[in-house]
Amino acid sequence: MNGIKTFFSKKLGVLLVDILLYVAGLLIAFALRFQGNFPAFNFIPTLYMLPLFILTFLILCNIYSLYSEYQKYDDTVASLVCVILTSCLINMAFTFLFRQFAVPRTIFLISSIIQFVLIVCWRAIVWKKSLLVQQVKTAIIIGSAREIHSLRQSITRSLDRGLCIVQEMHLHPEKSGEFFIRWQKLKDQPLLKTVDTIILCASVPMEYRNELFDFAIRHDKTIMLVPGVYELLLQNAHLISAGDVPVMQLQGMTTPPHLALVKRVMDVFLAASALLILSPVMLCVTIALKLDSPGPVFYIQPRVGLKNQKINVIKFRTMYKDAEKYSGPILAEENDPRITRVGRFLRKTRLDEIPQFWNVLKGDMSLVGPRPEREYFISEYTKEIPQFSYRTHIKAGITGLAQVEGTYSTNPENKLKYDLFYAQNQSLANDLVILMRTAKVIFLKDKAL
């Protein structure tokens, strides 16, 4: 209990220092803007709006998971860029909305730079001292050798500061009868009594899970489960009673009509606004592409959309003309020789995706949803993952949960799981959070749209 109190006091301390540095950045900006003075005409309206500024900052910090014990430092820096820039724009909008015109707009621009520098330096200390990590939890991982190897690599990349694997238990389908004997031997070992968490891979059969869940509940152990398609589809099942028998009712994978209407209105407004605002950028990209290599400016690629309908996804061309003429459909790789010099820059900055806002305006795609795949790859993936086609039951999107949570190298099975999770938890709020978190993808090399 003392450990938990200490952890929460540290977390609260990090939050309070964040707020102090955020406010300090605003005050320093005032001092710089007015040569050390704080004129009442400008300063009092700013103080009046300050609680709203701080609340905006904290909400954005929560959206970008800045108080998660598992976030790495490069993720934190990218998140802070988005938080500071977004809060700057929102705060400007608030001063206009509440008619606080005496608050100088230059203050927000100057303070954004100062706040970013102060908080990034502070967060480097937080990361080095592990102030957001409660304690390293020990864990046993159970599953097939392949699953355990893959999961351990993922844990090393993202959860290593909060989770330490101390034991592995490999499952062998051909020796299913040995499981309970091996599990009993493991339970008799002192090590299992000290383990905090039991991690179950997706392949662990249900009869084994019952035994493992029973042990975890009786001994206050945390269970972490890599979900399969079955678990993901059960997320939002409704409980109904057939007499005195509880029955779970699944609603399938569709977007409710009222949400589809709201999403469509948001899609049209934001896509049209993006095309208008980014039109100068599109002109510069067009000129750069024409100067760099022969070929069209746009690349139109057939992909599979809602209900397996064929859609033509529009992107800026990033490869040489006829790049797949002899190779056929293959995924792009790092240092791919087919990619042009300008194309490499466009891919790194995600500027090649801008023309897809036209697909959104046409109604072929939404801003948020599973990324549309090419028919060839869907056919290939479905051979190993029959449920991969479930993704086409909702409208495809420019970005999605798989893009903000996964990486470019995330395998098709895990991308499917992210997309199914999104499909079962569709809401306007979730879409807005995904859109905001997509901005961070630009600053992270291993992420990709």
- pTM for the model: 0.82
CB atoms within 10 A of CB 111: 27
Query: pLDDT confidence of 6, banded at 50, 70, 90?
Result: low
Note whether 60 and 79 are same-domain residues. Answer: yes
Task: For residues 57 and 141, state if they share a domain.
Answer: no
Q: What is the average pLDDT across 410-419?
A: 90
Per-residue pLDDT at 325 exceeds 70: no
**What is the model's pLDDT at position 99?**
79
Task: Judge whether 226 and 146 are in contact, CB under 8 Å.
Answer: no
Q: How confident is the model at residue 448 (pLDDT cuts 50, 70, 90)?
A: low
pLDDT surpassing 80 at residue 175: no
**Which amino acid makes up residue 124?**
A
What is the pLDDT, as a whole number, of residue 174?
65
pLDDT band at 446 (very low <50, low <70, confident <90, very high): low
Q: Where are the alpha helices (DSSP H) in 199-254?
A: 206-218, 229-233
| Between 107 and 3, residue with greater pLDDT | 107
The angle formed by the CA atoms of residues 377, 382 and 384, to the nearest 5 degrees, is: 110
Distance CA 62, CA 67 (A): 7
Per-residue pLDDT band for 63 (boundaries 50, 70, 90) equals: very high
Residues 120 and 210 grouped into a single domain: no
Domain boundary among 204, 226, 248: 226
How large is the average pLDDT for residues 415-422? 92
Query: Of the ranges 148-157, 307-316, 377-386, which one carries the lowest mean pLDDT score?
Result: 148-157
CA angle at residue 35 from 33 to 41, to 5 degrees?
65
Q: What percent of the chain has pLDDT over 90?
A: 45
Q: What is the pLDDT, as a whole number, of residue 14?
A: 92
**Cβ atoms of 292 and 361 closer than 8 Å:** no
pLDDT in tens, 236-265: 788 888 888 888 888 778 888 999 999 999
Nearest to 400 by CA among 380, 373, 377: 373
**In contact, 209 and 231? CB cutoff 8 Å:** no
65 shares its domain with 179: no
- 249: helix, strand or coil: strand
Tell me the torsion sign for CA atoms 317, 323, 329, 331. Answer: negative
Cβ pair 65, 405 in contact under 8 A: no
What is the mean pLDDT of the segment spanning 18-32? Answer: 94
Q: Is the pLDDT of residue 196 over 60?
A: yes
448, part of any domain: no
pLDDT over threshold 90, residue 121: yes
Q: Is the pLDDT at 323 greater than 80, yes or no?
A: no
CB 389 within 8 A of CB 201: no
Residue 17 confidence (pLDDT) above 80: yes
In a domain, 125, yes or no: yes
Q: Sorting pLDDT into bands at 50, 70 and 90, what band is 269?
A: very high
Whether residues 282 and 382 share a domain: the answer is yes
Given 71, 99, 129, the domain boundary residue is 129
Pick from 129, 154, 182: which residue ends a domain?
129
- 246 within a domain of the structure (yes/no): no
Number of CB atoms found within 10 A of residue 226's CB: 19
Answer whether residue 33 is part of any domain. yes
> pLDDT: is 159 or 97 the higher one?
97
Query: What pLDDT is recorded for position 394?
Result: 92
Position 5 pLDDT exceeds 70: no
Looking at the predicted structure, is the pLDDT value of residue 305 above 90? yes
pLDDT on residue 123: 94
185 — pLDDT class (breaks 50, 70, 90):
confident
Question: Once rounded to an integer, what is the mean pLDDT over residues 116-135?
Answer: 88
Residue 47 lies in domain = 2-129
Q: Mean of the per-residue pLDDT values for the chain?
A: 87
Comparison of pLDDT for 100 and 65, the residue scoring more: 65
CATH code of the domain containing 156: 3.40.50.2300
Q: Which residue has tokens 């995924």? A: 331
Using alpha carbons only, what angle is made at residue 272 by residues 286 and 406, rounded to the nearest 5 degrees? 80
Asked whether residue 121 is domain-assigned, the answer is yes
Q: How large is the average pLDDT for residues 288-299? A: 91
- Please check whether residue 271 is in contact with residue 363, taking contact to mean a CB–CB distance below 8 angstroms: no
| Residues belonging to the chain | 449
Is 90 exceeded by the pLDDT of residue 230?
no
Task: Give the Cα separation of 282 and 104 in Å (integer).
Answer: 32
- The CA distance from 182 to 189, in Å, is 11
Average pLDDT for 282-310? 92
In this predicted structure, what is the pLDDT of residue 3?
Answer: 53
- Same domain, yes or no, for 66 and 179? no
Most confident of 103-107, 274-278, 382-386: 274-278
- Please give the full DSSP string across 390-422, using - where no structure is assigned: GGGGS--EEE-HHHHHS-TT--HHHHHHHHHHH
Query: Are 321 and 415 within one domain?
Result: yes
Distance (Å, whole) CA 207 – CA 235: 20
Provide the pLDDT for residue 237: 80
Residues 369 and 437 in one domain: yes
Question: Quick one: average pLDDT of 313-335?
Answer: 76
Whether 238 maps to a domain, the answer reads no
Closest CA to 428 of 255, 251, 236, 252: 255
Domain-embedded: residue 287: yes
How many alpha carbons lie under 13 Å from residue 403 in its C-beta half-sphere?
Answer: 25
On whether residue 251 sits in a domain, the answer given is no
Domain count, the chain: 3
| CA torsion angle 390 392 394 399 (round to 10) | 110
Residue 75 pLDDT exceeds 90? no
Whether residue 400 sits in one domain with residue 264: yes
Are 122 and 141 contained in the same domain? no
Q: Are residues 184 and 141 in the same domain?
A: yes
283 pLDDT more than 70 = yes
Residues 121 and 173 grouped into a single domain: no
Q: How does DSSP classify residue 175?
A: G
Strand, helix or coil for residue 236:
coil
Question: Terminal CA-to-CA distance of the chain, rounded, Å?
Answer: 43
pLDDT of residue 200: 92
